[in-house]
């Protein structure tokens, strides 16, 4: 949201007043986080008594919900209701801050982080850690704006059938934090454009826009700075970010209303920032080992029945291609009836028997669901009469004809509606369904009334969290915490606690493969540990080359699924080499399961993602700052997917002696390499001195990792390395390996 016209002027229809000074500062023992500072910040410098008349004042409150985290609340009028922000399960009861105020100003200290307010003019709020300034809020940074209904204030969320905030006279709060020379910004959810967000205008507003646009399914109002801090805006509604755009020396973020709240999160490393952020907003659980295996889908609109499904499963087995999960997409239900949670009896006359037969093949079963109830379904009338569907202000049920005619949307703010929806899922779980693909959840209207009175603009993004949580809770209840997993598309802050998420609707091209990776890395920077994508692309049918390159990438991702829109994604439909590529990389992933499963356990413990941007592992190396075509799988394996038909790829290796995992070739890092790879290979390098737990089986992901385990020690390290391996049943062993005596 751009409010200014250049450096000096405002846009027509916009009026903004700014915090001009810290007029008084006092210590307060009963903020929301216990001890804190409260600052009166007039919007005019107070030189005489008359200056206190007829001027707005901002109240700025500093507190700490968690060590190393400062909460900043900026409010104009405090009398109105506030939406409450996101759930913060990691906030400590009595806060974590220490305060001091004197004639010079005030300080709030939490861990190594200090927020400092200088008394008097000009306005100055700065954040310090380990003896250096991280960032600061200075002149014209904290603002309160009034905007005419017809004012042009820059790009906003696009119209999506009633999901856009209606034009109206608005009040807006904004903050601007300084950008240092060379400072780079990452995160803000799963975004498919450039990984570095500098120079971008970003509206945090969930939309179903595919992977080839500026829109995003998973918008998260959190960014991570290359200077070792993060900023989380505690507002589930539309948050508008201007990252070095409107004010090129600053990041601006703004929200509608009378109050803005954000958290400044200390590092010093990017991993430390994510650890604190996920401690505050929620960590992912350990996902089941079987979920790391290959998922095979019916695809979206393809024709299929049990015979089709069985033929795919049989052929995968005949070709020695291990699969772990078979997924039934939406047409397992009758057309015009989504979601009635009933198998189409014309196509699946014996669903119980079919599921039992698939379980006998040692497969897990996933089925597609969404939060809509189509008018033709008998469930629609039941839900409408009981008040389980979202309603318009006039009391009528909100409906549309997108996807299926007359769909209504389940109101998950109504506990009874949630329980009703969950009862249908429980029936499917009892029937033999193991997990759910929770599709949609982005096109949520704002011209509605929620059962609990929630602000519709704030519920738009938050809906995905309520939806996914309702489904995830059913699986936890039925299967246990360690055996529950989703395949979800929409999310916002906190969504990392209901994994797994996938990238959404990509096209079947190399360019879309690359943009999908950018989205996954951006999501990793936003606190999400597990991520997947449609191997081969969703829209269209990939050529054999794209399919094979995407297969290698997909099987070196956290989670791996073959899925498409109007065509099947089984490898033999492309060529025989696609079968060989699938076999090679599926077997490789199975061997890596002791390593990958441990990375998932680390994610649950620390918040570190399984697929990691290079910047997380090598924050001191300036060469990785803009890298978005390679990543670390766990802490020790570097993956550079091939995005070209001829197999040419550029890869950067940081300092040290790297070893190619497939060939054993050792390469000195600290430089770029140009390589050419066949379809059975890609740049896949092991970090210097790494010890990789290597499993004994290549036919399934959920086996006893301790039986037949090898510890592969790679050159370039020194001293003793400790490696922990945890089996799916929870048994764990830690090994101390002297790297000077053993080499790969």
* Active site (catalytic) residues: 439, 442, 505
Q: Is 564 left (phi over 0), alpha (psi -120 to 50) or beta?
A: beta
The radius of gyration of the chain from alpha carbons, rounded to an integer in Å, stands at 26
Distance CA 626, CA 613 (A): 10
Q: What phi and psi values does residue 133 have, to the nearest 5 degrees?
A: -80, 125
Distance CA 113, CA 708 (A): 47
Q: Are 663 and 639 in contact (CB under 8 A)?
A: no
Number of other CB atoms surrounding residue 369 within 10 Å: 25
Locate tokens 């915490």: which residue? 481
Distance CA 357, CA 678 (A): 38
Residue 1 CA neighbour count, 13 Å, CB half = 24
Q: Does the bond joining 339 to the residue before it have cis omega, within 30 degrees of 0?
A: yes
34 CB-near residues (< 8 Å, 6+ apart): 63, 94, 95, 97
195's tokens? 């990984």
Q: Are 242 and 515 in contact (CB under 8 A)?
A: no
Exposure b/e, 333-344, CB count within 10 A at least 16 = b: bbeebbbbbbbb
547 Cα distance to chain centroid: 25
Which one, of 647, 648, 637, lies nearest residue 674 by Cα? 648
- What 3-state DSSP class applies to 553? helix
Which one, of 546, 548, 535, lies nearest residue 578 by Cα? 548
Strand partners, 539: 507
Locate tokens 């794209």: which residue? 546
461 Cα distance to chain centroid: 13
341 Cα distance to chain centroid: 28
Which one, of 444, 486, 437, 488, lies nearest residue 462 by Cα? 444
Residue 518 CA neighbour count, 13 Å, CB half = 24
598 CB-near residues (< 8 Å, 6+ apart): 634, 693, 724, 725, 726
Q: Are 561 and 551 in contact (CB under 8 A)?
A: no
Distance CA 113, CA 134 (A): 9
Distance CA 698, CA 590 (A): 5
Helical packing angle, 544-554 and 510-524, nearest 10°: 20
Q: Are 261 and 142 in contact (CB under 8 A)?
A: no
Q: Are 516 and 536 in contact (CB under 8 A)?
A: no
DSSP single-letter state for residue 572: G
Terminal C-alpha separation, the chain: 54
558 CB-near residues (< 8 Å, 6+ apart): 292, 500, 529, 530, 531, 532, 596, 600, 609, 610, 611
233's tokens? 């805006």
Helical packing angle, 576-591 and 593-606, nearest 10°: 60
DSSP string for 604-632? HHH---SEE-HHHH-TT-GGGTT--S-EE
Which one, of 292, 215, 324, lies nearest residue 531 by Cα? 292
């Amino acid at each position: 949201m751009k409010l200014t016209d250049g450096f000096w002027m405002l846009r027509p229809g916009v009026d903004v007043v700014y915090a001009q000074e810290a007029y008084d500062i006092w210590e307060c023992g009963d903020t929301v986080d216990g001890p804190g500072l409260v600052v009166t910040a007039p919007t005019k410098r107070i030189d005489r008594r008359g200056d206190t008349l007829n001027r707005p004042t901002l109240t700025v409150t500093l507190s700490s919900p968690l060590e190393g985290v400062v909460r900043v609340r900026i409010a104009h009028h405090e009398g109105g209701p506030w939406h409450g922000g996101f759930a913060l399960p990691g906030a400590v009861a009595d806060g974590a801050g220490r305060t001091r105020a004197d004639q010079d100003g005030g300080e709030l200290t939490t861990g190594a982080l200090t927020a400092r307010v200088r008394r008097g003019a000009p306005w100055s709020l700065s954040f310090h850690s380990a003896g250096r300034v991280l960032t600061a809020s200075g002149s014209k940074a904290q603002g309160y704006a009034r905007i005419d209904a017809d004012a042009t204030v820059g790009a906003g969320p696009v119209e999506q059938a009633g999901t856009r905030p209606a034009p109206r006279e608005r009040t807006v709060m904004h903050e601007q934090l300084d950008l240092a020379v060379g400072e780079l910004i990452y995160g803000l959810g799963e975004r498919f454009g450039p990984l570095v967000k500098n120079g971008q205008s970003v509206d945090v507003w969930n939309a179903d826009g595919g992977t080839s646009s500026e829109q995003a399914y998973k918008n998260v109002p959190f960014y991570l700075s290359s200077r070792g801090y993060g900023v989380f805006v505690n507002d589930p509604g539309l948050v508008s970010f201007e990252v070095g755009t409107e004010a090129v020396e600053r990041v601006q973020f703004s929200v509608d209303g009378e109050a803005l709240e954000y958290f400044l999160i200390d590092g010093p490393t990017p991993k430390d920032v994510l650890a604190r952020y996920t401690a505050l907003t929620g960590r992912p659980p350990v996902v089941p080992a079987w979920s790391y295996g290959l998922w095979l889908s019916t695809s979206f609109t393809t024709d299929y029945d049990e015979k089709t499904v069985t033929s795919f499963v049989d052929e995968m087995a005949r070709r020695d291609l291990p699969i772990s999960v078979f997924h039934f997409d939406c047409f397992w239900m009758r057309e015009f009836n989504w979601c009635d949670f009933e198998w189409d009896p014309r196509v699946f006359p014996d669903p119980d028997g079919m599921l039992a037969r698939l379980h006998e093949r040692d497969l897990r079963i996933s089925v597609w669901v969404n939060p809509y109830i189509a008018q033709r379904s008998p469930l629609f009338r039941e839900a409408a009469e009981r008040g389980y569907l979202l309603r318009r202000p006039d009391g009528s049920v909100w409906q549309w004809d997108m996807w299926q005619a007359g769909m209504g949307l389940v109101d998950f703010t109504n506990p009874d509606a949630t329980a009703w929806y969950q009862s249908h899922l429980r029936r499917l779980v009892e029937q033999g369904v193991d997990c759910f693909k929770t599709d949609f959840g982005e096109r949520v209207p704002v011209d509605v009334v929620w059962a609990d009175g929630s602000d519709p603009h704030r519920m738009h993004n938050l809906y995905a969290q309520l939806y996914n949580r309702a489904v995830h809770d059913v699986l936890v209840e039925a299967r246990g915490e360690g055996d529950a997993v989703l395949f979800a598309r929409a999310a916002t802050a906190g969504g990392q606690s209901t994994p797994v998420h996938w990238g959404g609707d990509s096209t079947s091209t190399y360019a879309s493969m690359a943009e999908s990776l950018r989205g996954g890395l951006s999501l990793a920077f936003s606190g999400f540990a597990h991520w997947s994508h449609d191997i081969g692309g969703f829209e269209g049918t990939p050529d054999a080359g794209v399919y094979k390159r995407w297969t290698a990438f997909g099987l070196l991702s956290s989670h791996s699924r073959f899925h498409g829109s109007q065509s099947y994604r089984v490898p033999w439909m492309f060529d025989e080499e696609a079968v060989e590529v699938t076999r090679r990389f599926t077997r490789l992933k199975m061997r890596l399961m002791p390593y990958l499963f441990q990375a998932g356990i680390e994610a649950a413990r620390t918040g570190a993602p399984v697929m990691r941007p290079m910047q997380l592992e090598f924050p001191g190396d300036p060469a990785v700052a803009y890298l978005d075509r390679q990543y670390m799988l766990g802490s020790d394996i570097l993956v550079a997917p091939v995005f070209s038909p001829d197999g040419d790829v550029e890869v950067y290796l940081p300092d040290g002696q790297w070893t190619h995992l497939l060939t054993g070739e050792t390469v000195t890092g600290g430089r770029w390499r140009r390589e050419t790879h066949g379809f059975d290979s890609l740049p896949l390098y092991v970090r210097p001195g790494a010890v990789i737990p290597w499993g004994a089986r290549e036919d399934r992901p959920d086996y006893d990792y301790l039986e037949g385990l090898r510890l592969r020690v790679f050159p370039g390290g020194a001293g003793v390395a400790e490696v922990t391996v945890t089996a799916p049943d929870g048994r764990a062993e830690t090994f101390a390996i002297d790297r000077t005596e053993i080499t790969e």
